[in-house]
Amino acid sequence: MQRPARPRQRRDQAEQHLRDITIADCRLDLSSWRFTTFANVAFEGCNLTRADFQHADLRGARFTDCDLTGAQFSQASMDGTRFARCDLTGIGGVTSMTGAILAHQDLIALSYALAGALGVHIEDPDDE
């Protein structure tokens, strides 16, 4: 007798849940958090360079003093996600950041990513 085939779920689409934890002073560059749900999760002083948060539910996440250079946030849910003193240079998926809360000092790096996502070209008058 042949067993019925079970549907296979791709590893990058497996849902993960993190709840009530603080992740501090960790090197997590190039890590994948796709499809992860964060509930009361804090990242503090972490290297999250080029981390992948695509399709993640980050509404319960807080990032403080983290390096998020080149991180990817496409299709993430970010209403209420907090960023304080983070490097947001070159992040992807900035249009998914609707409702996120940023410290004022994080806005400069993010402004370049937002401009790029909107097709706005930034010109340096000294280069003319």
Mean pLDDT value of segment 14-41: 94
Position 9 scores a pLDDT of 43
Give residue-wise pLDDT tens across range 48-68: 999 999 999 999 899 999 999
Position 116 scores a pLDDT of 85
Q: Identify the band that residue 109 occupies on the pLDDT scale cut at 50, 70 and 90.
A: confident
Position 128 scores a pLDDT of 63
Mean pLDDT value of segment 5-24: 71
Q: Max CA-CA distance within the chain?
A: 76
Q: What is the mean pLDDT of the chain?
A: 89
How big is the CA angle at 59 (ends 24 and 71), to the nearest 5 degrees?
A: 60
Among 83, 37, 87, CA closest to 62: 83
